[in-house]
Amino acid sequence: MTVVKPDPSSFDLESVEWTVSSHSGGSGNCVRVGVQGGYVLVGDSQNPDRLPHVYTPSEAKAWLEGAKDGEFDFVFNL
**Nearest one of 55, 31, 25 to 43, comparing CA atoms:** 31
**Nearest one of 11, 12, 1, 6 to 55, comparing CA atoms:** 6
User: pLDDT at position 29, please?
Assistant: 73
Half-sphere exposure of 59 (CA within 13 A, CB side): 13
User: pLDDT at position 28, please?
Assistant: 67
Q: What is the pTM of this model?
A: 0.86
CA distance linking residue 36 with residue 27, whole number of Å: 27
Taking the domains of the chain in order of start, what are their residue ranges? 29-77
User: pLDDT at position 14, please?
Assistant: 93
CA distance linking residue 77 with residue 21, whole number of Å: 21
pLDDT in tens for each of the 78 residues of the chain? 677 899 999 999 999 999 988 877 766 678 899 999 999 999 998 888 899 999 999 999 999 999 999 999 999 888
